Structure 1
């Protein structure tokens, strides 16, 4: 019987970050301060995040 050592396995490629219509923007890993938005059917990276509606003043 062969056993596998999972600590030396090849790491998986990072998952692609995708924004979804109707959801808030997503922070982009490795790019502090940048957010991925879903605008007019496109994925757009912007250096800011607009304020969310319904928040406290």
Structure 2
């Protein structure tokens, strides 16, 4: 049996049949990133659950 990484499940939520996760690269070292890049990293990512 294959064990999946449990840390991954702590970083996501299932909302309305979709997986909701945050963008990466948005927590620290923001001064070197352009405003355009930081704007694109705002918000969440929604992925459809497929079987």
Q: Could you say which structure has the higher helix fraction?
A: 2
| TM-score, reference length from structure 1 | 0.27
Q: Which has the higher contact order (CA 8 A, sep 6+)?
A: 2
Q: Could you say which structure has the higher strand fraction?
A: 2
| TM-score, reference length from structure 2 | 0.29
Name which one, 1 or 2, has greater alpha-carbon Rg: 1
